[in-house]
Structure 1
Amino acid sequence: MTRRLVYGGGLLAFADSGNHIHYTYGLHRRCSSLTHTCSPFPQPVDCAHDRYFCSMWRSVGFLMSFAVVMEGMTTIAYIVIMAGGKQKRESGWKVLTVLHAVVAVLLGASLSIIAYLYDHDDRFFPGWRLDTSWVLCTVSFAAVFLIGAGLLSTALLLPSEAGYELIPNYADEEE
């Protein structure tokens, strides 16, 4: 009986010390809690055996970087449209809707590729999980999509902005 108690106590004391070893994979680097260092990912040695995985992983890195650039362009477009006059606000929804659609497609493609790799690649075995970045990307995708859809629907359904009307240019009609 004493042996079971000793072994059980030893198992409880040392099995879960709270210091779990884990690896964090990012789009461009991998970090280890054991060594407290980060290294570029995927490494050439990772790609030597599985070029498919590396191509897909690097594609996601490119798509996410491109999505960030497009989100910056969307922010600038909002500023230009809001700072412009009535005419820019009346027609700006077309540009913003296209920009939102492009960003949503880029984020959706990235999420889909990561989900596919997570489900089908041998590197991600049972017990692994997608973390905060996955959640944030999913929320970003949903927000961009809903804002774009809302912008499109309000542009099509709401009446024109009241205020000054454009003065017709009769000089163009005479020519």
Structure 2
Amino acid sequence: MTRRMVYGIGLWVFLAAVALTFTSMALPDWISYTSPVSTSPNPAHPTTPIHVSYGLHRRCSSLTSNCTPFPAPEDCHGEDRYFCSMWRSVGFLMNFSVVLELATLVAFAVVLLGGRGNRDNGWKMCVGLLAVVVSVQVAAMGIVAFLFDHDNRFFVGWKLDRSWILCTVSWIVLLMDVVGITVAAKMLPAEDDYEPIPDRR
């Protein structure tokens, strides 16, 4: 496969997934809790719901109106050590996926700016890197979902929030990119540099 257009479309799809990855990491909303709105006896002073959210590196609370580093050293003692280690693993995996995405961007640039040989065989490198990014993000998403289901700190009212959803959409988009580039490489005819001369006999 030597078609620049396929690589170009694949690159734009990839960049959309990268934007989703960065947004999921920037927002401190992987898991969140919002208390039910209670009826205040004084209608002039309605009760404000409490909101708490966990990001990869921050925990935010409406009670303090700010975000604090998370997990902090005091969060990693006793029974919390397992949760702390797993949560830090999620942060590492997401940061590692960004490094891999930068490597994938370089691979796309090499293939698109290179000659026909690069375009013929470069899809294997691009698809391979994309598949590794998908695997890393699936692992990060899965760890968060596992902690949400099994850790005692998350009870009724907690939910997997925007960052987790964005991460999920990101790896799904990347997976679609992998499938699309692979199918194009296998199914599209080669793009020759010269037009065949018709036989007039």
TM-score (norm 2): 0.72
* In structure 2, C-alpha distance between the alignment counterparts of 1:105 and 1:12, rounded to whole Å: 53
Matched residue SS, 2:64: coil
Number of the residue aligned with 2:138: 108
Number of the residue aligned with 2:86: 56
TM-score (norm 1): 0.82
Residue identity matched to 1:105? S
Number of the residue aligned with 2:164: 134
Per-residue CA deviation, residues 13-56 of structure 1 (Å, 9 max, x unaligned), is: 37954x32211211111111221221111122221022111111
Structure 1 unaligned segments of length 5 or more: list them: 1-8, 165-175
Which of 138, 141, 145 aligns to 2:175? It is 145
Which of 53, 67, 79 aligns to 1:24? It is 53
Whether 1:93 and 2:127 are equivalent positions in the alignment is: no
Matched residue SS, 1:31: strand
Q: Answer yes or no: is the 8 Å Cα contact 2:40–2:46 preserved in 1.
A: no
* In structure 2, C-alpha distance between the alignment counterparts of 1:45 and 1:35, rounded to whole Å: 18
* In structure 1, C-alpha distance between the alignment counterparts of 2:146 and 2:45, rounded to whole Å: 33
Which of 55, 62, 68 aligns to 1:33? It is 62
Higher relative contact order (CA 8 A, sep 6+): 2
The structure that has the greater radius of gyration is: 1
Per-residue CA deviation, residues 71-103 of structure 1 (Å, 9 max, x unaligned), is: 111112112211111111111101001101100
Q: Tell which deviates more after alignment, 115-124 or 36-45.
A: 36-45
* In structure 2, C-alpha distance between the alignment counterparts of 1:146 and 1:10, rounded to whole Å: 49
Q: Answer yes or no: is the 8 Å Cα contact 2:145–2:160 preserved in 1.
A: no
Matched residue SS, 2:163: helix
Per-residue CA deviation, residues 126-150 of structure 1 (Å, 9 max, x unaligned), is: 1111111111101101001110111
* In structure 1, C-alpha distance between the alignment counterparts of 2:89 and 2:148, rounded to whole Å: 15
Between structures 1 and 2, the one with greater helix share: 1
Structure 2 unaligned segments of length 5 or more: list them: 1-38, 195-201
What pairs with 1:153-164 in structure 2 (closer than 5 Å)? 153-163=183-193
Shift of the 12–70 alpha-carbon distance from structure 1 to 2, 3 Å rule, reads farther
* In structure 2, C-alpha distance between the alignment counterparts of 1:131 and 1:76, rounded to whole Å: 32
Q: Which runs of 4+ in 1 moved over 2 A?
A: 9-17
Per-residue CA deviation, residues 90-128 of structure 1 (Å, 9 max, x unaligned), is: 111010011011000000001110000000001111111
CA RMSD of superposed structures (Å): 1.8
Whether 1:74 and 2:104 are equivalent positions in the alignment is: yes
